[in-house]
């Protein structure tokens, strides 16, 4: 498969021919190689066969940077990858994204030893990663987290508290955990840890979700961590979390665009074939105008996503406009996808509500991205804050 990581970021309004070809191959892989594995998975559990296949296809390595490439994941490539997989196999897209999110803090702030131990295993799907930030009282307001890291001997801590809505929990092999060590209130008092599964005092349970992804709750009962478990410096963990989220936020929009495009294409086929009032559905002006609106909004969302990703790549993630662009891209794309999938269900009618229909599947999948990694309301607040500067 042709790589795109060394290709300079194109103008966001047009992909290079090799990028378009790569996306087409990814959509085909999703349909032929990944969808059958996704269908064989157990709802709410990590699909290890699917994850390992993503590793064998060298796709996880495009979301999980290997040692020596720790900061070389390109946002545009990640967006193209997630959009293409979401089009044909949303479960594969989600498995890849959760793996990249969980391993991201290790790549960003881990020691050489931590990176060598965990990143190759995560990039091949042999170790399951998880990003443990959210709590029952600290979701979108991540700086309000209360998981306590209490001093325990020279250079050690004990973690006590609860995390919830955690990707791949409680089945992950390692967790990027964010806890309050107390150097200062708010974001300045947060420290990041790499916590292997199986530590004494760590337990968890899975959560049943609308779309059955592997999410769960983790309970920390005086879990021991030491200096070798630190990701970066004490009190600097919030920055580690935000750098990971800043990379992945535009690609959440790409995930949504992929689902919107799948719903739109299904609607175009259905409208061309479904008999209605002496013709077919697309002959009705109300339907054709609806399809035009769906297509226009999807393309607008796609362009915002690509623009945000290109801005990230050009600045190495340090651009002054990254927060605004990423928030706009996620907001526009996730809200658009919800609209497009809902409109597609309306065009298909009752058949789309039947369990197992593509749109029934997308209808469940499309709701969560408007909430996680910063709800739509939080994105609007971020955008407004940036505008006021």
Is 373 part of the annotated catalytic residue set?
yes
Name which of 50, 129, 97 is nearest 258 in CA terms.
97
Q: Give the integer Cα–Cα distance in Å for 250 and 201.
A: 36
What is each CA distance from 275 to 44, 138, 342, 347, 357, in whole angstroms?
39, 51, 21, 12, 19
Reading phi first (left if > 0) and then psi (alpha if -120 to 50, else beta), residue 20 is in alpha
Q: Give the integer Cα–Cα distance in Å for 164 and 376.
A: 20
CB 201 within 8 A of CB 251: no
Q: Which two tokens stand for residue 206?
A: 């899975």
- Identify the residue whose tokens are 């002496």: 278
Q: For 206, what's the count of Cα atoms within 13 Å in the CB-facing half-sphere?
A: 13
Name which of 369, 335, 340 is nearest 352 in CA terms.
340
**What does 73-104 look like in DSSP terms, one character per residue?**
--HHHHHHHHHHHHHH-HHHHHHHHHHHHHHH
Q: Give the integer Cα–Cα distance in Å for 150 and 166.
A: 22
CB 150 within 8 A of CB 221: no
Task: Find the catalytic residue in 77, 91, 365, 373.
Answer: 373
Q: Give the integer Cα–Cα distance in Å for 27 and 5.
A: 18
What is each CA distance from 379 to 80, 141, 309, 339, 389, in whole angstroms?
22, 12, 16, 18, 16
Return the active site residues: 373
């Amino acid at each position: 498969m042709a790589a795109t990581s060394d290709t300079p970021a194109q103008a966001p309004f047009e992909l290079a021919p090799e990028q378009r070809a790569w996306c087409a191959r990814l959509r085909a892989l999703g349909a032929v190689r990944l969808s059958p594995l996704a269908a064989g998975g157990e709802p709410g559990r990590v699909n290890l066969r699917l994850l390992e296949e993503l590793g064998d296809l060298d796709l996880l390595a495009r979301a999980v940077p290997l040692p020596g490439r720790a900061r070389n994941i390109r946002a545009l490539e990640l967006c193209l990858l997630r959009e293409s997989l979401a089009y044909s196999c949303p479960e594969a897209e989600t498995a890849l994204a959760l793996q990249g999110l969980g391993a991201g803090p290790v790549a960003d702030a881990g020691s050489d030893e931590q990176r060598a131990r965990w990143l190759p295993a995560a990039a091949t799907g042999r170790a399951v990663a998880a990003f443990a930030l959210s709590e029952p009282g600290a979701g979108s307001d991540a700086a309000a987290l209360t998981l306590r890291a209490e001093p325990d001997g020279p250079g050690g801590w004990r973690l006590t508290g609860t995390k919830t809505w955690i990707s791949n929990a409680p089945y992950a092999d390692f967790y990027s955990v964010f806890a309050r060590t107390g150097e200062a209130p708010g974001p300045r008092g947060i420290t990041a840890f790499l916590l292997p599964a199986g530590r004494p005092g760590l337990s968890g349970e899975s959560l049943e979700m609308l779309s059955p992804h592997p999410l769960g709750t983790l309970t920390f009962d005086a879990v021991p961590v030491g200096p070798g478990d630190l990701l970066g410096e004490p009190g600097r963990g919030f920055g580690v979390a935000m750098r990971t989220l800043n990379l992945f936020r535009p690609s959440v929009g790409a995930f949504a665009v992929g689902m919107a495009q799948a719903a739109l294409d299904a609607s175009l086929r259905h409208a061309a074939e479904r008999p209605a009032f002496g013709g077919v559905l697309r002959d009705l002006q109300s339907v054709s105008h609806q399809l035009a609106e769906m297509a226009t909004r999807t393309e607008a969302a796609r362009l915002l996503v690509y623009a945000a990703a290109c801005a990230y790549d050009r600045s190495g993630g340090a651009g002054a406009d990254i927060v605004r662009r990423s928030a706009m891209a996620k907001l526009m794309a996730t809200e658009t996808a919800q609209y497009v999938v809902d409109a597609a269900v309306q065009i298909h009618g009752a058949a789309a509500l039947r369990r197992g229909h593509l749109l029934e599947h997308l209808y469940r999948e499309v709701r969560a991205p408007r909430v996680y990694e910063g709800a739509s309301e939080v994105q609007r607040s971020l955008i407004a804050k940036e505008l006021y500067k």
